[in-house]
């Protein structure tokens, strides 16, 4: 049987460029090459597209852009399903599906999803609406509440919001609290504010990553997550739990686990794990997700499950939670990639 051509997008002009390289390298090494022919397309930090004919190690070490790379673009003609390569003349490669492994702005917020869908190319992962919604922490929380899943108390601020308003909210919910960009990932721009003196600088940092920042009450308890795969029929991985010895689960901890650990399955009662899985499915549907996503929640000491966020393109690195949760449920990384790509090409 002929292998299907899958355009794998990696890199991107966002602060999460480096994370994308690690995830894409893992996909390149983990995919079943007997079924899928990957066509890697790297996007530079400046937004230029290049077909990359090399191996995963070149991507992992960020030395992919060089000899052999050819400028590339998707044909905008709906139904053609082509990647156009500018090599001397103009050559074309058939595209059966596109798999963006891009984290953060321009890759996880609906931007490239819109381009892929407008070109009529099957998309592996969440579409435009769900990508945009899940990237926006404030609007995602509002939608989740309509489906009966509460979140921590929060307040959105911009560069024009009087600092006194932010201080009043902070005093209301108490310290410590979190200040985050409304639309960012991998914990970029997030600060755990311990006392009032740090609030202004934390807001300024968050606004470097987005035009809006959100102040959130710190929830007592633990962070838990659930991997979800599918569209009509949903499959979940085992629930995991983030164990911290200090601070919070910031960028460094997410990708090195220096002082933290991920326990999967989470050390919680079976009925509570079942509730978390069901809540993850509810949130997945509420936010119109499809393909795959990682749903993050908090479990309070009283047993309440609160929504945190949905990552529509979670990390695929060796330390990443998404493949770890599915591995604990009995699915290899290659099997997970098969499920994601099969759904894309079949449209079911």
Q: Could you read off the pLDDT of 271-312 as tens digits, one per residue?
A: 999 999 999 999 999 999 999 999 999 999 999 999 999 999
Q: Over 70: is that where the pLDDT of 40 sits?
A: yes
Nearest to 199 by CA among 221, 220, 178: 178
Write down the residue that tokens 């929060």 correspond to.
154
Q: Over 90: is that where the pLDDT of 249 sits?
A: no
Nearest to 272 by CA among 226, 220, 234, 329: 226
In the chain, beta strands by DSSP E: 4-11, 36-43, 49-51, 70-74, 82-87, 89-94, 97-100, 154-158, 177-181, 191-193, 212-217, 222-230, 234-236, 240-244, 260-263, 291-299, 305-311
Instruction: Say if residue 325 is exposed, middle or buried (CB neighbours under 10 Å; 0-12, 13-18, 19+).
Output: buried
Q: Over 80: is that where the pLDDT of 247 sits?
A: no
SS3 sequence of 282-328 = HHHHHCCCCEEEEEEEEECCCCCEEEEEEECCCCCCCCCHHHHHHHH
Nearest to 337 by CA among 328, 347, 327, 240: 327
> Degrees (nearest 5) of the Cα angle 73, 74, 80?
145
Q: 69 and 50 in contact (C-beta within 8 Å)?
A: yes
Q: 143 and 289 in contact (C-beta within 8 Å)?
A: no
Gap between the Cα atoms of 160 and 174, Å rounded: 23
**The pTM is what?**
0.91
Range name among 7-11, 48-52, 90-94, 266-270 with the lowest pLDDT average: 90-94
Gap between the Cα atoms of 271 and 278, Å rounded: 11
Nearest to 104 by CA among 231, 203, 189: 189
Q: Over 90: is that where the pLDDT of 15 sits?
A: no
Residues 6+ apart with CB under 8 A from 193: 170, 175, 176, 177, 178, 179, 199, 202
Looking at residue 186, what is its pLDDT?
58
Q: 123 and 116 in contact (C-beta within 8 Å)?
A: yes
Q: 260 and 245 in contact (C-beta within 8 Å)?
A: yes
> Degrees (nearest 5) of the Cα angle 247, 249, 220?
70
Q: Is residue 67 classed as helix, strand or coil in its secondary structure? A: coil
**Which of 242 and 67 is assigned the larger pLDDT?**
242
* 176 confidence band (pLDDT: 50, 70, 90): very high
Q: Own/partner pairs for 329-338, CB < 8 Å, 24+ apart? A: 329/236, 329/237, 329/238, 331/237, 333/26, 333/30, 334/30, 334/31, 334/32, 336/229, 336/292, 337/27, 337/30, 337/31, 337/32, 337/36, 338/32, 338/35
């Amino acid at each position: 049987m002929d292998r299907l051509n899958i355009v794998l997008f990696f890199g991107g002009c966002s602060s999460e460029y480096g994370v994308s390289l690690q995830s894409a390298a893992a996909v390149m090494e983990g995919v079943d090459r007997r079924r899928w022919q990957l066509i890697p397309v790297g996007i530079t930090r400046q937004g230029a597209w290049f077909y990359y004919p090399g191996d995963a190690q070149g991507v992992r070490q960020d030395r992919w852009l060089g000899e052999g790379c050819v400028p590339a673009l998707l044909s905008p003609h709906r139904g053609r399903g082509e990647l156009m390569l500018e090599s001397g003349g103009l050559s074309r490669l058939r595209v059966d599906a596109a798999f963006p492994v891009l984290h953060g702005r321009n890759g996880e917020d609906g931007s490239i999803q819109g381009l892929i869908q407008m070109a009529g190319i099957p998309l592996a992962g969440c579409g435009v609406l769900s990508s945009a919604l899940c990237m926006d922490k404030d609007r995602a929380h509002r939608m989740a509440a309509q489906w009966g899943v509460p979140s921590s108390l929060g307040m959105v601020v911009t560069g024009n919001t009087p600092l006194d308003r932010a201080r009043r909210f902070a005093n209301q919910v108490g310290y410590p609290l979190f200040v985050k960009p409304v639309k960012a990932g991998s914990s970029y721009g997030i600060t755990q504010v311990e006392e009032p003196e740090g609030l202004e600088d934390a807001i300024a940092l968050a606004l470097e990553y987005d035009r809006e920042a959100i102040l959130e009450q710190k929830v007592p308890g633990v962070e838990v997550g659930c991997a979800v795969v599918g569209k009509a029929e949903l499959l979940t991985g085992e629930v995991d739990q983030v164990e911290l010895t200090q601070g919070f689960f910031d960028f460094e901890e997410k990708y090195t686990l220096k002082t933290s650990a991920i326990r999967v399955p989470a050390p919680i009662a079976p009925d509570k794990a079942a509730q978390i899985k069901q809540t993850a499915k509810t949130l997945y549907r509420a936010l119109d997700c499809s393909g795959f996503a990682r749903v993050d929640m908090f479990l309070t000491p009283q047993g309440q499950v609160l929504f945190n966020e949905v990552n529509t393109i979670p990390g695929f690195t060796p330390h990443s939670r998404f493949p770890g949760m599915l591995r604990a449920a009995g699915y290899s990384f290659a099997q997970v990639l098969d499920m994601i790509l099969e759904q894309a090409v079949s449209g079911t």
